[in-house]
């Protein structure tokens, strides 16, 4: 199994460089690849900031990547939960934080938007320190 970097995933998803897309696509089609959670986090950020992808397009792109037969995510349940929460309006990094903290009593943060989003989705309780 080969672990892939964010730039390989981005080339595959955006097809913005024909040569690199062909290489990334061949790799993902012909090899078993591992995508760690930090790569997913960086991909969401790059797609949102550099490529101006909408929330829906990001969710669709990352879900389609995760559904490929040769792709293994570091933590598939975590990724699914965070993508569901992203689709519901939560920031992806915050969604990953909350999903990873599942089982804890409370998530402590100064971020009121995070607390409100967590309350809306019925996720882990968020409170200020």
**CATH of region 1-74:** 3.40.50.1010
d(CA 108, CA 11) in angstroms, rounded, equals 36
How many residues does the structure list for the chain? 129
User: pTM score, two decimals?
Assistant: 0.91
Q: Could you tell me the mean pLDDT of each successive run of 10 residues in the chain, 129 residues long? A: 98 97 96 97 98 98 96 96 94 94 91 89 83
Cα first-last separation, the chain: 42
Q: Tell me the two tokens of residue 66.
A: 């995760």
**Domain boundary assignment for the chain:** 1-74, 76-129
d(CA 102, CA 78) in angstroms, rounded, equals 10
Task: Please report which residue ranges of 35-111 form alpha helices under DSSP H.
Answer: 37-49, 55-66, 76-87, 92-100
């Amino acid at each position: 199994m080969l672990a892939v970097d964010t730039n390989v995933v981005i080339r595959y998803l955006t097809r913005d460089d024909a040569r690199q897309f062909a290489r990334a696509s061949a790799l993902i089609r012909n090899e078993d690849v591992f995508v760690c959670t930090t790569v997913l986090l960086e991909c969401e950020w790059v797609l949102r900031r550099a490529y101006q992808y909408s929330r829906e397009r990001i969710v669709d792109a990352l879900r389609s990547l995760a559904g490929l037969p040769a792709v293994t995510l570091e933590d598939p349940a975590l990724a699914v939960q965070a993508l569901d929460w992203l689709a519901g309006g939560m920031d992806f990094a915050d969604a990953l934080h909350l999903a990873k903290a599942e089982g804890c009593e409370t998530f402590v943060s100064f971020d009121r938007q995070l607390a409100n989003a967590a309350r809306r989705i019925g996720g882990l309780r968020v409170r200020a320190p």
